[in-house]
Amino acid sequence: MTLDTDRYRVKENQKIILADINPTDTGPYSNDKSGKKKARKDLSAQKKQLAELQNRFYADGGKALLIVLQALDAGGKDGTIRKIMTGINPQGVRVTSFKAPSSKERAHDFLWRIHKAVPKKGMIGIFNRSHYEDVLVVRVRNFAPKEVWSKRFDAINHFEENLLNEGTEIVKIYLHIDKAEQKRRFEARLNVPEKNWKFNPADLDDRALWQEYQRAFEDVFNKTSKINSPWYIIPANVKWYRDTLISQIILEKLLEINPSYPKIDYDPKKIVIPD
């Protein structure tokens, strides 16, 4: 089944209100076992295509692809990466997780650590959190005054425009869950011993700032979703639809790039491998 990914794409200068977007949306699939089964079957087919395209992308080496993943705590970033990238050649994919900056990183401009992690041509780079933390958590937690973080939107847009000009395609994904779903996932981490390590009591501090984060994300979408570096707001309460939808978005981007294997300057039929 082909999904209409464009309905989740934030158009340039579009005014986004997250409260108006349904995080339990499952698109053309019914939200039941039958819908899940169909979506998982589609995801399996997508992943086969992704594996073949990624192999060509790596061999071609003409462009890089940067996938930015942002979400609130328990939004599903790690699960998304695990579900979609399973089966893809790890040689051609690099995942970078951005935690709180180190003292060395704080001694540079906020994009310094980001630029170092941008994928080289032929590679798919996945940012688990990203440069957008510097207009999200920095803003909401008052780590910097407004006159500092508000200027970073222009810096981010220029940074991404430069990446595009140099051959790095960009897809930005926001995993949209509601507060009740976050609570359910937090409780699951507390109730299952094998998941206890995933819970951080400090996450509750950010949960108390839910509305502030909603407004900060809305500003991010309104100011930084561009024609060639768009944001996609993905309904992420239902994990199986989240995975299938994001896989389709990445697949469409690779099909658009249309990588090809390099031409060779010899005739393989004339090559004889000596005993």
Q: Domain limits of the chain?
A: 5-257
Contact 55, 89 (CB under 8 A): yes
The label of the residue with tokens 């299938």 reads 244
What is the pLDDT, as a whole number, of residue 1? 73
Would you state the torsion angle of the CA atoms of residues 82, 86, 92, 94, taken in this order, to the nearest 10 degrees?
A: 10
The label of the residue with tokens 């989740």 reads 8
What is the pLDDT, as a whole number, of residue 78? 94
Residue 205 neighbours by CB under 8 Å, 6+ apart: none
pLDDT at 251 over 80: yes
The CATH class for the domain spanning 5-257 reads alpha beta
Single-letter residue type at 75:
G
Average pLDDT, the chain: 95
Single-letter residue type at 230:
P
Label residue 11 by pLDDT band (50, 70, 90).
very high
Label residue 67 by pLDDT band (50, 70, 90).
very high
For the chain, percent of residues with pLDDT exceeding 90: 90
Judged on CB neighbours under 10 Å (0-12, 13-18, 19+), 225 is: buried
What is the pLDDT, as a whole number, of residue 189? 94
Cα gap 243→99, rounded to integer Å: 24
Residue 50 neighbours by CB under 8 Å, 6+ apart: 84, 87, 88, 247, 250, 251, 254
Single-letter residue type at 249:
I
What is the pLDDT, as a whole number, of residue 120? 97
For residue 138 the two structure tokens come to 């920095």
More confident residue, 243 or 2: 243
Write out pLDDT tens, residues 75-90.
999 999 999 988 788 8
**Choice among 48-52, 124-128, 248-252, 265-269 with the minimum mean pLDDT:** 265-269
Cα gap 169→175, rounded to integer Å: 20
- Three-state DSSP at 101 gives coil
What is the pLDDT, as a whole number, of residue 86? 82
Write out pLDDT tens, residues 258-274.
999 999 898 888 899 99
What is the pLDDT, as a whole number, of residue 185? 95
Q: In 3D, which of 159, 174, 1, 165 has the Cα closest to residue 72? A: 174
Q: How far apart are the first and last CA of the chain?
A: 50
Arithmetic mean of pLDDT, 202-227? 96
pLDDT at 223 over 80: yes
pLDDT at 41 over 90: yes
For the chain, percent of residues with pLDDT exceeding 70: 100
What is the pLDDT, as a whole number, of residue 7? 96
Start-end of H helices in the chain: 33-60, 77-85, 103-106, 112-117, 137-140, 146-149, 152-165, 179-191, 203-207, 210-224, 239-257
